[in-house]
Amino acid sequence: MKFEKLNEKIYDGDSLEANDIEMVFTADVTSVKLSFPDLFDFSKLEKIISHDESLNIQSELNFGVIEFDGEKIFKGRKKGLRLYGHISIEESGKYIFIFSCGEFQPARFQIFLEGYLKV
């Protein structure tokens, strides 16, 4: 499996409205529609995919990992952002999407589609 890096800004706006936005994007030949509550913390993704696949994604993104209180926190693209994931099963295959999300500045929330794996 190869990680496809996209670096696409999906949202940049009010943090109070971030949960309500609908994200629509195309990856490979698949059109995907989801919202922020559909995403899960990247650390949970390590329980779904192999350790090697997780390391491959971390290596491609090169954002860093912090160990805090026995848990890994995966840093996102900018200070204040963390990595999140989403698994989508489409007709063309199974995709694992990786996002950087969080409050970049007070009341300013950002979401970036970093890339995806086609499983």
Q: Quickly state the pLDDT bin for 48 (edges 50, 70, 90).
A: confident
Instruction: Please give the mean pLDDT across all residues of the chain.
Output: 84
Q: Is residue 91 predicted with pLDDT exceeding 70?
A: yes
Q: Report in angstroms the alpha-carbon separations of 55 from 20, 40, 51.
A: 32, 18, 6
Is the predicted pLDDT of residue 119 greater than 80, yes or no?
A: no
Q: Is the pLDDT of residue 59 over 80?
A: no
pLDDT value at residue 79 = 81
CA angle 14, 73, 88 (to 5 degrees): 70
pLDDT at residue 22 tops 80? yes
Q: Residue 58: what residue type?
A: Q
For residues 44 and 49, give the distance between their C-alpha atoms in angstroms, rounded to a whole number.
9
pLDDT confidence of residue 47: 78
pTM: 0.82
68 three-class SS: strand
Using CA atoms, how far apart are residues 7 and 63, in angstroms rounded to an integer? 13
Report the half-sphere exposure of 109 (CA within 13 A, side-chain side).
15
Angle at 19 between CA 111 and CA 83, to 5 degrees: 35
Task: Give the model confidence (pLDDT) of 62-89 as tens digits.
Answer: 777 788 888 777 778 788 788 898 988 8
pLDDT at residue 13 above 90?
Answer: yes
Q: What percent of the chain has pLDDT over 70?
A: 99
